[in-house]
Structure 1
Amino acid sequence: MVEWQSRPLGPVYPVVFIDAIHVKIRDGAVANRPIYVALAVTTEGRREILGLWAGDGGEGAKHWLHILTEIKNRGVSDVLMLVCDGLKSLPEAVETVWPRTIVQTCVVHLLRSSFRYATRQDWDKIARLLRPVYTAPTAEAALERFTEFVDAWGRKYPASVKLWENAWEEFTPFLRFDTEIRRIVCTTNAIESVNARISGQGRPPTPQTRLALR
């Protein structure tokens, strides 16, 4: 495992996904621990796990900066796009390691966070109104649809609106691409398959998330 974790990596990856999954680890006692995962798409189109790092749950953007620096030191000179959750200061950490990398916020994380600020009875309505935002043909069209979302829900759920406004710069990059590429780079869900292999179960998508992603 030590040899695998420190192996040399390729010089360039078109897409790298990073996220944390939670698994049960026995260290004296059994407890849920976060495992930080970096999963890449190679230039040949294959998936490759770059590394797995165990944490204690208190890590943030500085911890990811350490991980990304380790990946760079193992030979990765450039990443075209890095897909991640909306962790504050993470784009700055990515820029420190790879200044030209495009940071893409995971749409599913944005949706899940939006639901947290709303009552359950409104989740379906919110999902239906947000879907035209991230399926818009252009960033300009997405902004128009988002304005409609703000008009409908901004007064009731201002925190959801603020969430999307704060993430907008990192939300829109994938809208530059065709539908086939968008489906690959819009979410870190590929890491859920790693979770399933490690723990035997992944996080099942909520009905609202399934609706939004269709």
Structure 2
Amino acid sequence: MCIVHMVRNSTKFVSWKDLKKICADLKAIYSAATEEAGRDALEEFGKIWDAKYPMIYQSWDTHWDDLSEFFKYPPEIRKAIYTTNAIESLNYQLRKVTKNRSTFPNDDAIFKILYLAIRNASEKWTMPVRDWGMALNQFAIIFGNERVPF
């Protein structure tokens, strides 16, 4: 449940002429400074668009508990975690190497194959995360040095 996927789901059935307006109103929700401001923006979105596209508000409202976690982090971290595409891609790579093997001789065998899959997948990661240094700094402040290696 990430912001990018929520926006994609929300705009899937939107008319082309309303798309820019819908996206701008959705951006007001997920780019709000606080959870309360985001919730207010969602309510405002509902007032404007419920007559034409009621499922968008309903979807965001239903998933609000999950989406509200996003607001607990500073903007630097939000930019790094607004999408789960990288995680989903890695999970796909790991499933791909394990799905055809029904058994492994021991636990070390599966750890080795997963290690190799992660190593191979990481070679394809060429696009750096934008402003990663600032996000890493915020992670260290929030979670402490014991969880964020330097």
**Is the aligned partner of 1:174 residue 2:70?**
yes
Taking the aligned partners of 1:184 and 1:140, their CA distance within structure 2 comes to 22
Q: Which runs of 5+ in 2 are unaligned?
A: 91-120, 125-150
Match of 1:160 among 35, 56, 60: 56
Tell me the matched-pair count.
93
Taking the aligned partners of 2:44 and 2:18, their CA distance within structure 1 comes to 16
Code of the residue aligned with 2:61 in structure 1: it is: E
Contact 1:117 1:160 in 2 (8 A): no
- Quote how far apart the aligned CAs of 1:190 are: 2.5
Match of 2:5 among 101, 109, 112: 109
Between 185-194 and 115-124, the greater mean CA deviation after superposition: 185-194
Taking the aligned partners of 1:156 and 1:130, their CA distance within structure 2 comes to 15
Match of 2:22 among 108, 119, 126: 126
Taking the aligned partners of 2:59 and 2:44, their CA distance within structure 1 comes to 16
Code of the residue aligned with 1:185 in structure 2: it is: I
- Quote how far apart the aligned CAs of 1:192 are: 7.6
- Quote how far apart the aligned CAs of 1:148 are: 1.1
Contact 1:108 1:187 in 2 (8 A): yes
Taking the aligned partners of 2:75 and 2:60, their CA distance within structure 1 comes to 21
Identity of aligned residues (%): 35
Taking the aligned partners of 2:47 and 2:84, their CA distance within structure 1 comes to 29
TM normalised by structure 2 equals 0.56
Match of 1:135 among 5, 10, 31: 31
**Larger Rg over CA atoms:** 2
Runs of 4+ in 1 over 2 A off after TM superposition: 189-195
TM normalised by structure 1 equals 0.40
> SS in structure 2 opposite 1:156?
coil
- Quote how far apart the aligned CAs of 1:189 are: 3.0
Taking the aligned partners of 2:54 and 2:89, their CA distance within structure 1 comes to 33
Q: Which runs of 5+ in 1 are unaligned?
A: 1-104, 199-214
Contact 1:136 1:142 in 2 (8 A): yes
- Quote how far apart the aligned CAs of 1:143 are: 0.7
Contact 1:137 1:175 in 2 (8 A): yes
Higher relative strand content: 1
Contact 1:117 1:159 in 2 (8 A): no
Code of the residue aligned with 1:184 in structure 2: it is: A
Taking the aligned partners of 2:54 and 2:77, their CA distance within structure 1 comes to 31
> SS in structure 1 opposite 2:63?
helix
Higher relative helix content: 2
- Quote how far apart the aligned CAs of 1:123 are: 1.0
Code of the residue aligned with 1:173 in structure 2: it is: E
